[in-house]
Amino acid sequence: MKKLLIMFACSLSLMSAAHAQTDTSCTAYSIVTPGSEVACGTGYDGLKFTKTTKTCPDGKVTVSTQYDTSQCKPSSQNTAAAQKCTVNPASCQSAPTPVGCPTNQHWALNSNNVATCVNDTSVSSDSRTVSCPSGYDGTQSQQRTVTTDHYTGIVTYGAWSTTSSSCTVSCSPTYSTSNSTSACQSGYTGSIVTTYKTNSCTGATTSTVSNTCSLCSPTYSTSNSTSACPSGYTGTVTTTYKTNSCTGATTTTSTNNCTVAVCVPTYTTSTSTAACASGYSGSITTTNKTNSCTGAVTSTVANNCTPVVCVPTYTTSTSTAACSSGYSGSITTTYKTNSCTGATTSTTANSCTKISPPPRTIVSQVWYCYNRSIWYSVDTWSDGSVTTSPPRQGRDDPNCY
């Protein structure tokens, strides 16, 4: 039975390792190993534990063999009890005062605040029955330790271990294969082919690698390009490109056959003509001369403008405006333009005279009286105006009030 268990454990280990090689969604971690927490020991509070770590991309899982004691702290209660009863035994009241505790016991204060020796821990076991892994029939019996710290009241559980197994293979496996190919490193020819083989029963995948890479013996291909020399030089610049067939690296070399050019210049000319300024006749001619070697351009200007002597003629025009209200006649303005300068002068003739108004006549007259003999008239004139005459003494009229 022991041999069977060892073979089964090895099979599980290989299955786990093979699966880890092909786990494309690998997530690294470092966690407390489940069930590994135990009390720190005499004189300390807290728990110590081992850690389980997974690395990627290989998916390898390892369990540390050393305990992590970072959470263990000296027990202040134990220290206080020991000091109290060792340094000053009388302070332990009337109860017996332990001078030292035997193995697997430690100092503690009971409910009466009296120092006494108590057991560190007690260990018992726990058992269970579980099913076999996928691809196997039967069951496994497992056991773990249960540790109780009577001082702190903390219970810790050990890892489950298999004590017996009736597991047998329930599947006749078939295998599916797949390949992946990667290039060799620079400087080598061939390829690296990885073949993956998957067990249909367990899902475990194993891989084998075929490496046909071998050192490359390079050959070289060359090509040339030609460019012109800079301005003022004759000849060419030739660049040679040399490519390594193994690495693909290309080196370049340049051959410069340029020499200083001795140039005998020729000249091209062009002209442009502009009009003279106002008041002048003729033209302004600019001649541009270009050197074929340097490209430099020189310019000369010929000004053939002469002042224009003009004999002016004049054109005239008139405009007539009416006089203002109350006047008769007109206002005439005469404009005279010089044909040479374009200047215009003007003269104005004003024949307006004031109009005398016609004589007025009374077209109606109404007389009024008051105080029996005081009379005045209201007169309406031919121009539409109305006036009142000054009062004057007139005939006596008893009806005039």
The Cβ of residue 202 has, within 10 Å, a number of other Cβ atoms equal to 20
**Residue 158: DSSP 8-state:** P
C-alpha angle 168-61-208 in degrees, rounded to nearest 5: 70
C-alpha angle 316-321-327 in degrees, rounded to nearest 5: 140
109 token code pair: 């204060």
Kindly give the pairing relationship between strand 374-381 and strand 362-370. antiparallel
Residue type, 227: S
User: What are the Cα distances from residue 275, in Å, to 242, 258, 287, 307, 310?
Assistant: 65, 49, 15, 13, 18
C-alpha–C-alpha distance, residues 58 and 69, integer Å: 29
C-alpha–C-alpha distance, residues 190 and 214, integer Å: 6
C-alpha–C-alpha distance, residues 134 and 62, integer Å: 22
53 token code pair: 């770590």
pTM for this model (two decimals): 0.23
pLDDT string in tens for the chain (401-residue length): 333 333 333 333 333 443 334 445 677 877 778 778 888 776 667 788 888 888 887 878 888 878 887 777 766 544 444 444 444 444 443 334 445 566 666 666 666 666 667 676 778 888 999 988 777 788 999 999 988 876 667 888 999 999 998 888 777 778 899 999 998 887 788 889 999 999 887 788 999 999 888 888 888 899 999 998 888 788 899 999 999 888 788 999 989 888 887 778 889 999 999 998 887 888 999 999 999 888 899 999 999 898 877 788 899 999 999 888 888 889 999 999 998 888 999 999 988 988 887 788 888 988 888 887 888 888 998 888 899 988 888 888 777 76
The Cβ of residue 59 has, within 10 Å, a number of other Cβ atoms equal to 20
C-alpha–C-alpha distance, residues 39 and 155, integer Å: 9
C-alpha angle 268-273-279 in degrees, rounded to nearest 5: 155
